[in-house]
Structure 1
Amino acid sequence: MADGPTRSSPPDRVSLLTRWRLRARLRALYHGTSPTAVRFRITVLAVDLLIVAFFIAAPFLKSGGWVYYLVDYAIAAVLAADMAARALAHTNLRDWLKKPIVWVDLFILATLLFPAWLYNLGFLRVLRLWTLANSEFFWKTVGHRYDDTRVEEVTRSAVALVVFVFIATGFVYTSFIGRHDGIQGYVDALYFTITSLTTTGFGDITLPGLWGRTLSILIMLGGVGLFFNLIQSLIRPHKVFHPCPTCGLRRHDLDAVHCKACGEVLCIPDDGL
């Protein structure tokens, strides 16, 4: 005789209720508008910025021995806890995992958990600054007044350029330290990156071989492209983010009355920015 559907036992109900309350609490903290939620998110962002500062300073701190690795694992614990909390706070886990910045953060977490195996990729941790500047979490908390404004556009362009400089420096440092007399330390790699990016090219430090020339070309092309993108975001007319209800065009002039693509009448809010 087949058993009928069984009800959850009291311990199961308690477990489900506890899980539901935890998710509701995390959603309120990560997405709510209460003063407590805002203070919580500001604290999280402050910790994030301290972690990014450590990542930037890491090449100068690796002589710290076991203390350096202890800090590494402590940061990994904080980052893992934050990512787990964000995953629980998100309505749909699959949609959350589809975000590129989530996978970037997972990679950063891997470099923290396995420093011995991913030692040469540690410089990519500075991508945490990029994920922070491109997250809605940041703009809805600290930069809510400037969300979808010129300030956001300029900030993202500037962050992209800074992140590129440190990633390129990391590539030069890990590829040529100890193999080329011109690169004696991290500052030498940073100096070469800046001179290549600005196309100054003093010539006192040059990278040898095909790989060195290729890397120099990539730094010049990528850096110049990002630099001009920053200049454009500073001088070109700003457009507001307001999707057209008819054709879906997302960017319009500040004083636009009609959509330039389909002619639909627009009603763009004026926040005085």
Structure 2
Amino acid sequence: MTFTTRTRRSVSSRLEILKMKLRRIERGRDTWALRWQAVLAVIDVSIISFFIFGPFLRSGPSYLIIDYMIAVWILAELFARAFATGSLGVLLKRPMTWIDLVILATLLFPNALFNFAFLRAMRLWAVGESPLFAVILKRLGCHHYKDVARASLNFLVFLFMVTGFVYTTFFYHQSGLVGFIDALYFTVATMTTTGFGDITLPGPLGKLTSVVTMIVGISLFVRLAQSIVRPRKVLFPCGKCGLQRHEVDAVHCKACGHLLNIPNNND
């Protein structure tokens, strides 16, 4: 075996180990993976905070520096995901990949693509989809509130997305807090169908924005209310029919009558 062959095999082996570690970080549930996911979640929350408070910082000298640093980070994330997946086709089928590509474009060309900056709020949705989110709820003893937490997160994501869109499209010319607060106020009033009418969006685009915001917003609001008042259920697959959700004190499956043995965590 030549030195070149041994070197190639060594490099190939190291790359395969790196690929396995990246996959483990992305979807693993062991302590090592969860620690890495916690670090990435903190970075994501910091990025989201920058996106939310960006309208107040855009006139500062450090805004573009932070903007391009985040762009480099997201680009590195995309390369890491592409390497771990091993298939560009599989990667492009993930909605988050396209969202990150659009976010990356808005970061690289902030002045030209500021109208699409509202999509940056979708990074918050990625945090909620992480395995770490479910593990944290479980360790806090709140795993039965998982549906409520996800519904709340979806509501917040849509709230910030619409606020960002309304701000960049209709209130971007206003400086400081005024424009962003007006956009947030309009969004909350429209999503909850309160509609005080003191702030309205002009033109056909404004009317269409109001209609879409009301339809989607009230749907998410109803979904959130349902998840709060719905009777608590546990996830336990029935051995016969496969039904997943059952009442906490269920003895038999309500679909097929099969005897269940749901563990009680309080014992």
Question: For the superposition of Structure 1 and Structure 2, which TM-score range results when normalised by the shorter chain?
Answer: 0.7 to 0.9
RMSD: 3.2
How many residue pairs get aligned? The number is: 263
Amino acid at match of 1:62: R
Query: Equivalent residue for 1:125?
Result: 120
Query: Equivalent residue for 1:19?
Result: 15
Query: Equivalent residue for 1:210?
Result: 204
Preserved contact between residue 148 and residue 241 of structure 1 (Cα < 8 Å)? no
Query: Equivalent residue for 2:30?
Result: 33
Amino acid at match of 2:9: R
**Distance of 2:173 and 2:46 partners within structure 1:** 32
**Distance of 1:230 and 1:246 partners within structure 2:** 31
Verify: 1:69 aligned to 2:73, yes or no.
no
Deviation at 1:73, TM superposition (A): 1.8
Preserved contact between residue 38 and residue 132 of structure 2 (Cα < 8 Å)? no
Deviates more, 1:126-135 or 1:242-251: 242-251
Normalised by the length of structure 1, the TM-score is: 0.81
**Distance of 1:135 and 1:77 partners within structure 2:** 21
Query: Equivalent residue for 1:220?
Result: 214
1:108 to 103, 116, 122: 103
Structure-2 change in CA distance of 1:83 and 1:266 (3 Å): farther
- Deviation track 1:5-38 (CA, whole Å, cap 9, x = no partner) reads x9x822211211211232344345552524x444
Deviation at 1:270, TM superposition (A): 2.6
Query: Match of 2:239, SS?
Result: coil
**Distance of 1:188 and 1:71 partners within structure 2:** 26
**Structure with the higher fraction of residues in helix conformation:** 2
Preserved contact between residue 99 and residue 119 of structure 2 (Cα < 8 Å)? no
Q: Which runs of 5+ in 1 are unaligned?
A: 1-5
Deviation at 1:51, TM superposition (A): 1.0
Query: Match of 1:64, SS?
Result: coil
Structure-2 change in CA distance of 1:244 and 1:111 (3 Å): farther
2:161 to 152, 167, 171: 167
Query: Match of 1:185, SS?
Result: helix
Preserved contact between residue 26 and residue 85 of structure 1 (Cα < 8 Å)? yes
Structure-2 change in CA distance of 1:179 and 1:93 (3 Å): closer
Amino acid at match of 1:156: R
**Distance of 1:13 and 1:39 partners within structure 2:** 31
Deviation at 1:94, TM superposition (A): 6.0
Verify: 1:242 aligned to 2:239, yes or no.
no
Query: Match of 2:246, SS?
Result: strand
Normalised by the length of structure 2, the TM-score is: 0.83
- Report % sequence identity: 44
Deviation at 1:125, TM superposition (A): 0.3
- Deviation track 1:189-229 (CA, whole Å, cap 9, x = no partner) reads 11111222233322221222332222222222222222222
